[in-house]
Amino acid sequence: MTQTANHTPATETLPEELIRSIESWERPVIIAHVPPDADALGAMFAVARGFGSTGATASVALPEASLSQRLAFLHEWAEPRIAGVEEFAQADGFVVVDTAKKPRCNLPGGLPEEWNAGRRIVNIDHHASNTRFGDINWVVGDASSSCELVFHLLEVWARPVDELSASLLYAGIHTDTAGFSLPNTSGSALAAAAQLVERGARVTELGERLCRSQRLSEFRLLRIIYANTRLTPDERIAYSTADYREITDAGCAAADIDDQVSIPRSLLGTRLALLLTEGVRGKTRINFRGDAGVSVLALAKSFGGGGHDAAAGAILEGPIPEVLAQVLPQAERYLDDLG
């Protein structure tokens, strides 16, 4: 692969085998994680559009209930072909983006357990905890987002990045860096974003849609999360909760739980923020966020979860009070050990 000034070091790690493999696919299915965020959706749709420009018939795995109200516009923009059981049966290969482990794949119902049945999986991701479950893995732990990686992929693959693909990819970089405010806002992330803007990414509309387009239902949920926010006595940990009743009474569903952990996280002096939500009755999802250099990945892993250093998650069986009673003391000990 030739190296040009536009390529970040991430491109140098792109396995040559990856493009050789996907080039021959005519009916690929593109998959991301559950619940899909803007990075997952943007990367998935942009990869599908890359295949579309070669004449291949790509479809995306996106069960309807898994799409949040806030991000439904990305789906409306991209108008992807949705993969059902039939598309999975006929697929000649799979691209999984932004997904740290295979069981996190957001799949339609009715698939056999071994859904890839010997067909190749290409795994493109920026989660440090990625288990390399693909047959070809391109995992760049210090990339800002999967969308940044997909942008480089499309460039090396010589697929057009039109105004719509640029917008989808920009959405992922914008969201995964929390509006270019997190430590993963690297030079390469900003350079990719700049190139996407030059290609016509809809910056103003995306800013409005992603940052200033709360539905009343989402607003009600935020009010609950503000009201439920607590601090530990030493104020190092801020946490909040929303149980099943609170989420549904607000008019929201499991798919609408996204980055609301930013509320407890926004308190001055917080080193570790937690959000515990019961989007699915009887299961507690925890979002972990670390600030001031606190990595939360090992903590999330101790509960069977995964993610990044600064942002990780886990899902535990049981109602919120039970899980909180277990997680909070462990999180305090974890901070004590970090010193």
Q: Which is nearer to Mn ion, 39 or 243 (CB)?
A: 39
Q: Which stretch binds Mn ion (CB under 5 A): 112-120, 145-153, 295-303, 330-338?
A: 145-153
Q: Which residue is nearest to Mn ion (CB)?
A: 39
| Nearest CB to Mn ion, comparing residues 87 and 176 | 176
Query: What is the closest distance, in whole angstroms, from the C-beta atom of residue 54 to Mn ion in the complex?
Result: 25
User: What's 33's DSSP letter?
Assistant: B
Q: Site for Mn ion (CB under 5 A): which residue of 59, 106, 148, 176?
A: 176
What minimum distance in Å lies between the beta carbon of 176 and Mn ion? 5
246 binds Mn ion (CB under 5 A): no
Q: Does 39 bind Mn ion (CB under 5 A)?
A: yes
Q: Smallest distance, Å, CB 143 to Mn ion?
A: 9
Quick check: 125 binds Mn ion (CB under 5 A)?
A: no
Strand order of the sheet with strand 272-277? 230-231, 237-242, 272-277, 283-290, 311-317, 306-307
Closer by beta carbon to Mn ion, 59 or else 175: 175
Contact segment (CB under 5 A) with Mn ion among 39-47, 304-312, 316-324, 328-336 equals 39-47
Least separation, in Å, of the C-beta of 18 and Mn ion?
Answer: 18
Spell out where the chain has E strands: 29-31, 59-60, 94-97, 121-125, 136-139, 230-231, 237-242, 272-277, 283-290, 306-307, 311-317
- Rounded-to-integer distance, Cα 70 and Cα 251, Å: 13
Name the burial class of residue 248, with classes exposed (0-12), middle (13-18) and buried (19+) by CB atoms within 10 angstroms of its CB: middle
- 43 vs 58, beta carbon nearer Mn ion: 43
Q: Which burial class, exposed, middle or buried, applies to 21 when counting CB atoms under 10 A from its CB (0-12, 13-18, 19+)?
A: middle
> At closest approach, how far in Å is the CB of 146 from Mn ion?
5
| Cβ at position 145, least distance to Mn ion in Å | 5
- The strand ranges marked E within 112-250 are 121-125, 136-139, 230-231, 237-242
Neighbouring-strand partners of residue 60:
30, 82
Provide, rounded to whole angstroms, the least separation between the CB of residue 137 and Mn ion: 16
List all residues 6 or more positions away from 89 whose beta carbon is below 8 Å from its beta carbon: none
The piece of 19-27, 45-53, 175-183, 301-309 that touches Mn ion (CB under 5 A) is 175-183
Binding mask 88-107 for Mn ion (x = CB under 5 A): ----------x---------
Question: Which among 9-17, 33-41, 238-246, 326-334 is the span making contact with Mn ion, rule CB under 5 A?
Answer: 33-41
122 bridge partner residues: 95, 136
- Residue 140 makes CB contacts below 8 A (sequence gap 6+) with 10, 13, 125, 126, 149
Q: Label residue 315 exposed, middle or buried (CB < 10 Å: 0-12, 13-18, 19+).
A: middle
- Closest approach, Cβ 148 to Mn ion, in A, equals 9
Count of residues touching Mn ion (by CB under 5 A): 5
- How many Cβ atoms are within 10 Å of 331's Cβ, its own excluded? 25
Residues forming contacts to Mn ion in the complex (CB under 5 A) are 39, 98, 145-146, 176
